[in-house]
Structure 1
Amino acid sequence: MIVSRRLILAAPALAFGSALAQPVGWTVATEYPATSIPGEGVTHFATAATAHGLPVTAATDGPGGYRSAAALTALAEGRFAAVDAFAGALAAVDPLFLLSSLPFLTASHADAARLRDLAKPHYVAALAKHDATLLWTTPWPPSGLWTHRKVTTPEDLRGLRVRTYDATGTEVLRAAGATAEVLSFGEVNARLEAGTLDAVLSSGDGGAGRQLWRWLPNFTELNYAWPLSLAFASNARLAALTPAQREAVTKAGAETEVRQWQAIIGRLEANQRVMRENQVAIHQPDAALRAALRSAAGTAITQWSGRTGQAGAAILTAYGA
């Protein structure tokens, strides 16, 4: 059999083109459990992208030690093609990422959605500086305190060793008398097992996903914030896709955005049902505790606005209009 020299020379190029059309290991990761709303989001995205023609795998529960604070590093190192990250954990990248978890700024699903719309261009621009593209956002149910003992008064809070999810929460709870520190969710269980934590600032969603009732059988409904998680992809990994595959990512991201903001409706009630089924006592803070936290929150918001300059002030002004 005689094979032409032209065909032999063309073969490597054909093989190279075929390899480019086949993305290597498209995985989207989150540090949260599959049952949490961010976990459901990455699963939905993977299913939708696969249906649109790009096979994607969802990885939950912090695969390989993945944490939100290291999300951009994980992308840069090529560990994942896309990630979900708690926005507040990215404060070291840009303090604007703390916006959604500013205390007592949002009081409802509608508030959180409006704040997201105002901040979205800033999130997109900040991620672009790190070669990442925003895919979708996920709202968390409002944050409260999971505690070992009942906490409803300022006296109950004093000296309490509390895990917070960002620097602002740490400032607020310290100002109100607690001993607070930032910890990723992946570190919480070990600290609770060791007896070095008394409380966790988290939504009912995150707490239920981690079954915090095993150590913390009380939950105080602070309605502290409706924070966001952000999902974004590596620009390098996107560039390696075919146009059709990139379209699959775009479509799946848009569908996941819609799904996540619809799923949050009724989530609070569902979480409370699960909590009560697991003998969690749900409490309301008294007026004095609310006042103490709001006073500390005002200082934290002012400090945040100072760090973010005109951009942060413009968002807050537009949100308050």
Structure 2
Amino acid sequence: MRTPSALAACCWLLSGPATLPALPAFAQPAPQAVWELIDEYPASAIPGQADATFAAEVERATGGRILVRPIPDAKSGLRTREQLKAVSEGRFAMADSFGGAFGEESPLLLLSSLPFVTASAEEARALYQAARPLYEAEFARRGQKLLFVTPWPPSGIWSASPVTDLDALKALKIRAYDATSAELFARLCTLAQVVSFSDLMPKLKTGEFNAVLSSGDGGAGRELWDYLRNFSDIVYAVPLSFGAVSLSAWNALDAETQAAVAKAGEGTTARQWEAMTGRVAVNFKRMRENGVAINETPPAEVMAVLRGAAEKTLAEWRATAGPEARAVLDVFLKQRR
């Protein structure tokens, strides 16, 4: 006679694999750290693409020990001008920030967006390489480690009406992206103010602004052409965004992991410079397909007035910048000639 326990065992054996108790799955090792990477610009804009590239490179290089989670499109609740402080204070591990937004705090970070200093990605890259040690020291002074940079395509003027002459330039109420561009255009236009990109669209909709200084790259362009159907290719600047991590997060890593993350940053920077090849042509094609009229040769009188105003802007920057930053610019301009 079978005992109840023996009978139960027999039934368990006859029932087959379907009733086998589930075995515990082998859990993936938890990451050593998860870094949130905040960015005011859309994921499809060139800095947002850099964020995604860096995140993938870090995960691959560290075998998943470090995970980077991009938070684009100001979903952190912060604008670019607030991001630097947020990382320094440890509220977020990382930020990818447009350098010109911090010009009032650091004239050095205005260097890449100074008017008519660089006319191509090649020139912008040379200026960045010359200034790189200063950039690294500036971020370190703020408790951060600079890991990668992203160049933007050249800035132009998006406008509701074409900028055909000086009267049209004067009529602009233009959003500027840093203090120097705001001061320059304020001398020539009806209105010029710094406005964060994430705050801009309602102001365009109401007509408070009728022009924007921007490349309009990626997702940024898709928002601008709903309101501004003209683009003047003045090649104002080839500015930079900077991806940096807090030193507290950085110093928590061992030397091997730091080396892997730093290499991922170098690779991201190199890829972003390479991505500039043909980027303007791709942007212009997409803009034209969406009804934007592009003037690749703005009127000579408009360019002459803009360049004349830029001379005063550069002089004002020199008066506030440190001697090392001024020396970098002077050497660059001398070599460019």
Q: Taking structure 1 as the reference length, what is the TM-score of the superposition? A: 0.90
Q: Return the letter of the residue paired with 1:47.
A: A
Instruction: Supply the distance in 2 between the matched residues of 1:208 and 1:282 (Cα, whole angstroms).
Output: 16
User: Which residue does 2:39 correspond to in 1?
Assistant: 30
Q: Return the letter of the residue paired with 1:96.
A: L
User: Which residue does 2:155 correspond to in 1?
Assistant: 143
User: Which residue does 1:314 correspond to in 2?
Assistant: 327
Structure 2 vs 1, CA of residues 210 and 236 (structure 1 numbering), >3 Å: closer, same or farther?
farther
Quick one: which of 82, 85, 91 aligns to 1:73? 85
Which piece of structure 1 moves more, 200-209 or 178-187?
200-209
Quick one: which of 250, 265, 290 aligns to 1:238? 250
How big is each residue's C-alpha offset from its partner over 1:82-108, in whole Å with a ceiling of 9 and x where there is no partner? 111001011122111111111111011
Quick one: which of 280, 302, 321 aligns to 1:268? 280
User: Which residue does 1:8 correspond to in 2?
Assistant: none
Shift of 1:251: 1.7
Contact 1:38 1:84 in 2 (8 A): yes
User: Which residue does 1:213 correspond to in 2?
Assistant: 225
CA radius of gyration, larger in:
2
Contact 2:40 2:198 in 1 (8 A): yes
User: Which residue does 2:49 correspond to in 1?
Assistant: 40
User: Which residue does 1:196 correspond to in 2?
Assistant: 208
Shift of 1:241: 2.4
What's the % identity of the aligned pairs?
42
Which piece of structure 1 moves more, 213-222 or 238-247?
238-247
Instruction: Supply the distance in 2 between the matched residues of 1:58 and 1:182 (Cα, whole angstroms).
Output: 25
Alignment of 1:1-321 (within 5 A): 22-23=32-33, 25-53=34-62, 54-205=66-217, 208-283=220-295, 284-321=297-334
Which piece of structure 1 moves more, 222-231 or 173-182?
173-182
Q: Return the letter of the residue paired with 2:272.
A: Q
Name the SS for the 1:55 alignment partner: strand
Q: Taking structure 2 as the reference length, what is the TM-score of the superposition? A: 0.86
Instruction: Supply the distance in 2 between the matched residues of 1:61 and 1:156 (Cα, whole angstroms).
Output: 32
Shift of 1:156: 0.2
Name the SS for the 2:41 alignment partner: coil
Shift of 1:207: 6.8
Instruction: Supply the distance in 1 between the matched residues of 2:221 and 2:228 (Cα, whole angstroms).
Output: 13
Instruction: Supply the distance in 1 between the matched residues of 2:226 and 2:216 (Cα, whole angstroms).
Output: 14
Shift of 1:114: 0.8
Provide the aligned C-alpha RMSD in A.
1.7
Gaps of 5+ in 2: 1-28
Q: Return the letter of the residue paired with 1:307.
A: T
Shift of 1:80: 2.0
User: Which residue does 2:23 correspond to in 1?
Assistant: none
Which piece of structure 1 moves more, 84-93 or 308-317?
308-317
Contact 1:204 1:272 in 2 (8 A): no
Contact 1:208 1:275 in 2 (8 A): no
Gaps of 5+ in 1: 1-17
Instruction: Supply the distance in 2 between the matched residues of 1:205 and 1:199 (Cα, whole angstroms).
Output: 16
Shift of 1:206: 5.7
How big is each residue's C-alpha offset from its partner over 1:121-152, in whole Å with a ceiling of 9 and x where there is no partner? 11111111110011111111110011111113
Q: Return the letter of the residue paired with 2:61.
A: H
Contact 1:152 1:220 in 2 (8 A): no
Contact 2:174 2:189 in 1 (8 A): no
Name the SS for the 1:265 alignment partner: coil
State the number of aligned residues.
302
Instruction: Supply the distance in 2 between the matched residues of 1:64 and 1:139 (Cα, whole angstroms).
Output: 22
How big is each residue's C-alpha offset from its partner over 1:174-223, in whole Å with a ceiling of 9 and x where there is no partner? 12234100011111112112221101100131674442110111111111
Instruction: Supply the distance in 1 between the matched residues of 2:141 and 2:206 (Cα, whole angstroms).
Output: 40
Instruction: Supply the distance in 2 between the matched residues of 1:147 and 1:103 (Cα, whole angstroms).
Output: 19
Instruction: Supply the distance in 1 between the matched residues of 2:32 and 2:131 (Cα, whole angstroms).
Output: 35
